[in-house]
């Protein structure tokens, strides 16, 4: 095994490399044939470790990788790719997962943007329901599993309409009283990274961190515009631009839920993915009723609508009064 895999190379006498399909600072992802299961394609993730890192850091990190790979291999959820194998060789660790066909959500968003259109709210909420289910499942594990790198390019839509969270690069297990080291060091993508995650493994991240990234992802998908980074918003005391200022077709309910998910301070943020899903969807299940009515407005939307109607009526009455007064002169 080596760092420069090319098509035709065979790893572990089983996985035949077809092509590279992803690359990052500390690893690469390859499309491979599984020779033991004819016709099965898999995604082979190779994680490299810099040799100039202290030996104890590399040892601890690789130990953490094996531990987390073991946990990931036990996961079974329709919106997560199945981890089927992991192994190591010299300075490389390998993670083998199901290959997920289809386009990622960033690509789908960009396709609409090129046409000067937005993804529809109904479609994005359908995706959001599935993303939420995957995150709720991860957060319900013992120990809790955080994804920590939710973003449009890490979410794929399969040809049969199923959403998959496809990258576990920054996954972290929350073990009480124990320091954890991520599989791949980093802080996620800045647009979607909560402020508390900028500290890497020294920062305090919990399920609310995934709520922030999830909300930021939906914001981007609905506006074609990446949100301001949390760090910039904190330093400048800046609020995120309202979705409705960019995309007029978004309901107040969806906008309000996303804004509350994206609060910089985690204590002010929506506290769980379950709560966020309820705020977004209520009783509407897009998979059971994809073409049915959108989520019903909550009481605050009704109050807002009533206020707007009253103001409109007052303005109309004032206008009519001015006309009557003019005619009576």
What's the whole-number mean pLDDT along residues 254-273?
Answer: 95
Condensed to tens digits (0 to 9), the pLDDT of residues 248-259 reads 999 999 999 999
Could you report the per-residue pLDDT of 216-252, keeping only the tens digit for each? 999 999 999 999 888 888 888 888 889 999 999 999 9
The structure's pTM equals: 0.81
The torsion defined by the Cα of 240, 277, 282 and 233, in degrees rounded to 10, comes to -10
pLDDT on residue 157 = 97
Q: With CA atoms as reference, report the closest residue to 276 among 137, 133, 173.
A: 133
Overall average pLDDT of the 125-134 stretch:
97
Q: Which residue would you say has higher pLDDT here, 300 or 85?
A: 85
What are the residue numbers of the active site?
A: 149
* Model confidence at 312: pLDDT above 60: no
pLDDT tens, 175-194? 555 444 333 334 447 899 88
Query: Residue 168's pLDDT is what?
Result: 64
Buried b or exposed e, range 273-297, using 16+ CB within 10 angstroms:
bbbbbbbbbeebebeeeeeeeebee
Q: Which of 92, 100, 96 is nearest to 4 (CA)?
A: 92
Q: What is the pLDDT of residue 313?
A: 56
Contact 28, 43 (CB under 8 A): no
Provide the token pair at 51.
């040799």
pLDDT score recorded for residue 319: 63
User: What pLDDT, on the 0 to 100 scale, is given for residue 271?
Assistant: 95
State how far the Cα of 11 lies from the Cα of 164, in Å rounded to an integer. 26
Provide the percentage of residues in the chain whose pLDDT is more than 90.
Answer: 50
Output DSSP code: residue 297. P
Cis peptide before 143 (omega within 30 of 0): yes
d(CA 52, CA 250): 50
DSSP per residue over 216-248, as a string? HHHHHHHHSSPPPPHHHHHHHTPPPPPHHHH-T
Domains and CATH numbers, the chain: 10-98 (3.30.200.20), 103-281 (1.10.510.10)
């Amino acid at each position: 095994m080596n760092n420069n895999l090319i098509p035709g190379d065979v790893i572990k006498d089983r996985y035949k490399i077809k092509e590279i399909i992803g690359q990052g600072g500390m690893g690469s992802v390859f499309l491979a044939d599984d020779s033991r299961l004819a016709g099965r394609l898999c995604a082979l993730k190779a994680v490299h470790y810099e040799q100039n890192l202290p030996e104890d850091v590399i040892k601890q990190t690789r130990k953490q990788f094996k531990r987390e790979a073991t946990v990931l291999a036990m996961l079974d959820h329709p919106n997560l790719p199945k981890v089927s194998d992991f192994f190591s060789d010299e300075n490389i660790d390998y993670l083998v997962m199901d290959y997920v066909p289809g386009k990622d959500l960033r690509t789908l968003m960009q396709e609409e943007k090129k046409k000067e259109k937005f993804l529809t709210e109904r479609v994005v909420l359908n995706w959001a329901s599935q993303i939420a289910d995957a995150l709720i499942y991860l957060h319900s594990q013992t120990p809790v599993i955080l994804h920590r790198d939710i973003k449009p390019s890490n979410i794929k839509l399969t040809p049969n309409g199923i959403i998959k969270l496809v990258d576990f690069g920054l996954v972290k297990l929350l073990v009480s009283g124990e320091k954890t080291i991520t599989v791949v060091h980093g802080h996620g993508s800045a647009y979607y990274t909560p402020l508390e995650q900028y500290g890497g493994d020294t920062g305090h991240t919990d399920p609310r961190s995934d709520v922030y990234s999830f909300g930021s992802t939906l914001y981007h998908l609905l506006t074609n515009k990446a949100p301001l980074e949390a760090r910039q918003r904190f330093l400048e005391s800046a609020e995120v631009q309202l979705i409705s200022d960019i995309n007029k077709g978004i309901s107040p309910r969806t906008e309000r839920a996303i804004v509350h998910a994206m609060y910089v301070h985690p204590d002010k943020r929506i506290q769980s993915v379950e709560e966020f899903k309820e705020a977004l969807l209520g009783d509407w299940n897009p998979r059971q009723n994809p073409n049915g009515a959108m989520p019903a407005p909550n009481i605050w939307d009704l109050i807002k609508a009533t206020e707007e109607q009253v103001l409109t009526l007052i303005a109309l009455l004032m206008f009519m009064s001015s006309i009557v007064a003019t005619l009576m002169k």
